[in-house]
Amino acid sequence: MGVILYDIPRPDFKRDQRTCVGPARYVRSQHRSPKEGGFVPMGYAVKKAYWRLSKRPRCEYLGRKRLPLPPGPPGHWLFGNAPPPPYAYQYYADLTEKYGPVVSLRYGKRIICIVGRYQAATDILIKHSGETMDRPRLIAAFEILSGGLRVVLTPAGDRIKRALHAFLAKDVAENYKPMQTRNAMTYVWDCFTRPEEHMDHSKRYAASIVISLTYGKTTPTSYSDSEVQNINRVARHFGAALRPGAHFVDTYPFLKCIPGYLKHLYRYHEEELVFFHEMIAGVKAKLSRGEASEAFVAYLLKEQQNLRVSDNELAYLAGAMFAAGSDTTASALSVVTMAAALHPEAQARVQAQLDKVAGRDRAPTFEDEDMLPEVTAFFMETARWRPQFASGFAHRATKDIIWVSSEAQTSTKDYVIPAGAEVIGAHWAIARDPDVYPDPERFDPQRWLDEDGQLRKDMRYFRFGFGRRVCVGEHLADNSVFINTALMLWAFNITEDPARPIDPDALTDEANVFPQPYAANFTPRVDRLEELLRRDDE
């Protein structure tokens, strides 16, 4: 009987000779009699076949030209590289410093390409956005926790994304500004009355926006409300499951078949699905009474047949997407407060412009935005300095991508990112690209402004993702962070508590990075703060 040998990954003795893994091939020994010398012992067959495979180019591109993977650390010949350690975003940044703008890793059969520099991200994830808009298979976060329903992880071209674009487009997001302003004023007042809970207040604000837009709830909320607690719990579970290297099942899918494996993720899925359906039930009851609703869920229910989505898909489309948006906004607001406390000189520049434009007799509004570039520069720098999705979201290459590395001004080298490889735009590493952001560890909002003090048109940062997978809620999120930054720095001098110094490097190890809990002082710089907030809220 012939022996069938499956393709075996090459050793990593010399990383610069590693090439991409092509499709699995079969090697069959001929069925010959012992007299013909055809009896091949199993061990010899394996050894010979492995030797032949290791000597053969395993990625052929542009005819028979052999191109290597981008450089990266050596790994085990069979298992590849070790899983990323805690705080993977810092690990990716260290790899970028050592190996270059694009780094390749191998976990079992998975090829991971880490993109850690701005120009490389443009060349690969922007110029090849059509070939990198897909998502890889994520068993823990997508198939188990999300039941295959979370839109942010769905494969490219999914029909239900049209609904999100229709509801979160830039012109539509203008309609949400009054509601965002009201909730931002509540956030300011909460920080004044209970400053020790300021991080909870940011989560309350973000969850309130989500609940209002998604489910039409207009009554005030508090951090202790069950809806706020549940939305934050959903976001926390998702962030933990999505953390790089969190679950071996993404590398070794057979683990999914083990009874009881990751049972907590199955339980979380059932819990969040029940919660999403409970939230939708309230909107259905309102519509059944003939009451009008502009909530996102009301739109989905009316268009459910046209969108061709099931009840569970509809529940996840509404709940999971906006839960993720709530988490990122809350994180962004906590970073703004931390940056203000640690950098009083940058805070003072923003406050000087706020005093010039709005004065201290009224609160700043969205109508002042064009006259407040210092506010925008401040929150854009916070997003670069401590990015929310520090490790980045994984894309999947649907075709071979040739990347030309300019290792020096006089030489280039071609590498291949093979079809099926995972491509991660590592936000933390990109945000520390010294060619784009000089002295990247320094918090400097002025890098976003030109000589005239206006926002630079040539400066940008991929804080909402890349190519065709950019977060559809970017306009809503930017509006939230702008109005909260303006109001908080107008209302307070935010300072560090001398008794409890802030560690800016103390961050959570999740997909969406938060500062670890920290203390800050909020000293009013505006007389009659409550009166002004109430007046401008009317």
Q: Which two tokens mark 369? A: 């935005």
How far from chain centre, in Å, is Cα 200? 21
Q: Which helix (H) or strand (E) holds 60?
A: strand 60-61
Q: Please, is 213 exposed, middle or buried when counting C-beta atoms within 10 Å of its C-beta (0-12, 13-18, 19+)?
A: buried
Q: Are 7 and 54 within 8 A, CB to CB?
A: no
Contacts of 211 (CB under 8 A, 6+ apart): 217, 221, 227, 228, 231
Q: Are 403 and 366 within 8 A, CB to CB?
A: no
Q: Which of 88, 329, 336, 89 is nearest to 232 (CA)?
A: 329
Q: Which of 21, 313, 330, 40 is nearest to 150 (CA)?
A: 313
* CA pair distance 324, 512, nearest whole angstrom: 9
Contacts of 491 (CB under 8 A, 6+ apart): 188, 192, 363, 522, 524, 525, 526, 529, 533
Q: Which two tokens mark 480? A: 């939230």
Q: Are 447 and 453 within 8 A, CB to CB?
A: no
Contacts of 10 (CB under 8 A, 6+ apart): 18, 19, 53, 54, 58, 77
Residues in the chain: 538
Phi, psi of 332 (to 5 degrees): -60, -40
Tokens 């991929």 sit on residue: 462
How many C-beta atoms lie closer than 10 Å to residue 450's C-beta? 13
Contacts of 335 (CB under 8 A, 6+ apart): 382, 383, 385, 386, 388, 515
> 103 pairs with which residues across the strands?
114
Q: Are 247 and 139 within 8 A, CB to CB?
A: yes
* CA pair distance 435, 433, nearest whole angstrom: 5
Q: Are 524 and 192 within 8 A, CB to CB?
A: yes
Q: Is 471 annotated as a binding residue?
A: yes
Q: Are 481 and 329 within 8 A, CB to CB?
A: yes
Beta sheet of 102-107, edge-to-edge order = 102-107, 110-115, 422-425, 394-396
> Which residues participate in the annotated binding site for heme?
471
> Which residues participate in the annotated binding site?
471
